[in-house]
Structure 1
Amino acid sequence: MAFIDYYKILDVSKTATEAEIKKAYRKMARKYHPDLNPNDKEAEKKFKEVNEANEVLSNAENRKKYDEYGENWQHAEQYEKARQQQQYQRADQASGFEGGGDYSDFFESVFGGRTYRGSKRTSQYKGEDFNAELHLDLKDVYTTHKRTLTVNGKNIRLTIPSGVENGQQIKISGQGGDGINGGPKGDLYLTFNIANHTHFKRDKNNLYSTVNIDLYKAILGGEVTVDTFDGKVKLKVAPGIQNGTKVKLKGKGFPVYKKEGEFGDLYITYHIAIPTSISEKEKELFEELAKLRTL
């Protein structure tokens, strides 16, 4: 993979703080976002590069590797192993291992192996694990759907199961960096960042909502139409219902992760809206009602 200067992509210095990197990323992401640049291939490419740069520089561990190894940062662990092998080289030679003592052997050991009395053994290393974050809306994860995610310039087609939670992380095997010397590919660790722009509050599989009813319906009872996540339903309101009364709608909550057809519950809390202003006629009637209550 070609080397990309992530600091240059985000237009920050190598000494930039975490907050400065986050601010620069948001600015660049807005600038090149596909929604603001429809059918602009160059902007789409820039958007991918900005996200890639943020994935590396916003992660303290990855940033440290990148600062030390540059374009080879994804092989940092292999370099460290090779450096340790270099330290024990003399002992190996005394035990029958062959090999030069030049510094270049350190790099060769990363992509090759050591020689045992004339025969060469090649070490294999697993590829670098990737970390990515997928931003979704709560409505997106109410149903199972497919999504294409771009990680390090590679498009990965995913099936997003319904019911995933904010902050949940899943591992996608074999979608990380390429292995070295025929070693297995690394894995992709995907973290879900789920924004809630609905009026429902989610707690695992259950949903919570507040419904306003007027004073007269609270006293006399009647019928009210309430929103659920996938439509509207009508509910009976008993006469004399109290403010803060809760009702449970079984199975009208959020899908249970990886359990097809299972849902949590929806809890409705009634809020009685007291009129802030009333007509003279209404005032007279309320006064009459007040007299009746004292009889």
Structure 2
Amino acid sequence: MTDYYEVLGVDHNASDDDIKKAYRKMSRKYHPDIAGPEFEDKFKEVNSAYEVLSDPQKRQMYDQGVDPNNPQASAGFGAGGFDMGDIFGSFFGQGFGGGSGQGPVPRTQPGRDSLASLNIDLRTAVFGGTEHVDIHTMALCPDCGGRGTAEGTQPVTCPDCQGRGFTQKVVRTLIGQMMTSAPCPRCEGHGTIIEKPCQGCAGHGRVRTKRTVGVSIPAGINNDTRLRLASQGEVGEGGGAAGDLYIDVRIRKDKTFVREGDDLHCWIEVPMSWAALGHAVRINTFDGERSLDIPAGSQYDDTLRLEGLGVTHLRSDGERGDIVAHLVVKIPTSLSEHERELIEQFADSHDDDDEHIEAVSSHNKPSGSKRGFFSKLKDALS
């Protein structure tokens, strides 16, 4: 027999409030919309456990060794060790061997969790900030404040069940007469009737609405992060406590930077003369314009760093990654005769004319020992 107390993570002597709190925690943890469809069976198990342990009658049966969800599979059912009168009394009420009938179902029920998505730009991920998301959810009825009744009225005791929430009747079976119980059809098991329901919510204590929620984005947040906003989800029936709101945060692509960890990578195109002679440039960053010095003799795809201008380290005291600038040396596609002569003169005096080139792996790139840049340029323009 499944240990429902273990499923909810509570002690066998847990109070009704402890069971309700544990159920809310576990249902949020394993809800398929939050944890994923693979947790659907676990979510059903949590609901089955709560269905039994939240009902005094079913909990009594379970503590006696009979699983109300599967009585035939329970250990000892119909065998020695249990009073059959007590067991049938648990099933059918006081009319058979004792056992208490189930109590009325509360009108106030906890609300469900909600899920929403939010797209942010890379700048917000770098520095953090507050974003807003619109959600459609159930909110407390503004007309009745969750009571479900019209102003100046209260629910009245159900005349059919006298407030017990269930009705009983005698049925004849092969082993004699037995008393059975079922939820009262008139009050739907609540024990009370709302004779004059609130017109705004039709007696439910909540209404569907659209509202805007502010979301605090932590600096350094990663893509596809799920944030939890406590008690910002759906209000329950009868104005019950709201569930939680979960926000899936996704970071839009930036037109300049690509994020790798907490570093921001960008590519800057520079003339070949700047790469050969060195030059100072200014680039736009999330902190404004910054100066970047290109050393003389820079090569294609060399990287330069601007330290401390990248993404804020998550859960740090403001420390940040770097900006990594990749150089793209721009080779002209056409030259004047004078320009060609100058480059050929430079190539003749600086480059090796040896046509033999050996292929090497990327981590063993030659550092100037092979054909020079201007020799390759001359060939590209030939």
> What TM-score, normalized by structure 1, do the two folds share?
0.59
Note if contact 1:142-1:255 (Cα within 8 Å) is conserved in structure 2: yes
Q: Offset of 1:236 from its aligned partner?
A: 2.0
Provide the residue aligned with 1:140 in structure 2. 124
**1:259 aligned to which of 316, 336, 345:** 316
Distance 2:238 2:91 in 1: 19
1:154-173 to structure 2, matched below 5 A, reads 154-173=211-230
Q: Which residue pairs with 1:131 in the alignment?
A: 115
**Mapped partners of 1:271, 1:127: distance in 2:** 56
1:284 aligns with 341
Q: Which residue of 1 aligns with 2:301?
A: 244
Measure, in 2, the Cα distance between the counterparts of 1:176 and 1:257.
26
Number of the residue aligned with 2:269: 212
Change over 3 Å in CA distance of 1:181–1:100 after alignment to 2:
farther
Residue in structure 1 matching 2:134, options 128, 150, 163:
150
Q: Which amino acid aligns with 1:143?
A: F
Looking at secondary structure, tell me which structure has more helix per residue: 1
From the superposition, tell whether residues 235 and 83 of structure 1 become closer, same or farther in structure 2 (CA, over 3 Å). same
Contact kept in structure 2, 1:96 and 1:117, CA below 8 Å: no
Measured at CA, do residues 260 and 179 of structure 1 come closer, stay the same or move farther in structure 2, by a change above 3 Å?
farther
Change (3 A) 1:89 1:180: farther
**Which of 272, 285, 290 in structure 1 is aligned with 2:329?**
272
The equivalent residue for 1:69 is: none
The answer to whether the 8 Å contact 1:170/1:189 transfers is yes
Report the TM-score when normalising by structure 2: 0.47
Q: Distance in 2 between matches of 1:282 and 1:232?
A: 34
Deviation at 1:138, TM superposition (A): 1.7
Contact 2:126 2:310 (C-alpha < 8 Å) held by counterparts: no
Between the aligned residues of both structures, percent identity stands at: 25
Q: 1:243 to 1:100 in 2, by over 3 A?
A: same
Which residue pairs with 2:103 in the alignment?
120
Structure 2 unmatched runs, 5+: 1-31, 41-45, 59-67, 78-83, 138-209, 353-382
Query: Structure 1, residues 60-94: CA drift from partner, whole Å, max 9, x if none?
Result: 95xx9xxxxxxxxxxxx869965996746999984
Alignment of 1:15-94 (within 5 A): 82=51, 87=69, 94=86
Contact 2:275 2:299 in 1 (8 A): yes
* Superposition deviation, residue 251 in structure 1: 0.4
C-alpha distance in 1 between matches for 2:300 and 2:51:
70
CA deviation string 1:89-113 (max 9, x = no partner): 9999844866879xxxxxxxxxxxx
Deviates more, 1:204-213 or 1:135-144: 135-144
User: Alpha-carbon deviation of 1:283?
Assistant: 0.8
Aligned to 1:228: 285
Q: Displacement, 1:237?
A: 2.0
AA matched with 1:289: F
1:120 alignment partner, SS class: coil
AA at the equivalent of 2:310? G
Give the drift of 1:192.
Answer: 0.7
Q: Does the CA contact (< 8 Å) of 1:78 and 1:125 recur in 2?
A: no
Return the match for 2:235 from 171, 178, 190.
178
Structure with higher Rg: it is 2
Q: Which amino acid aligns with 1:128?
A: R
Alpha-carbon distance change, 97 to 189 in structure 1, aligned in 2, over 3 angstroms: farther
- Shift of residue 179, structure 1, vs aligned partner: 4.3
Distance 2:287 2:239 in 1: 49
In 2, the alpha carbon distance for the partners of 1:183 and 1:294 equals 81
Question: How many Å apart are 1:223 and its aligned residue?
Answer: 1.3
* Structure with greater contact order relative to length (CA < 8 Å, sep ≥ 6): 2
- Which amino acid is 1:135 matched to? N
Structure 1 residue 184, shift from structure 2 partner:
4.7
Task: Measure, in 2, the Cα distance between the counterparts of 1:213 and 1:174.
Answer: 54
1:122: how far off?
5.5
From 254, 264, 267, the equivalent of 1:197 is 254
Cα 1:204/1:184, change in 2 over 3 Å: farther
* SS of alignment partner, residue 142 of structure 1: helix
CA RMSD of aligned residues (A): 4.3
Equivalent position SS for 1:196: coil
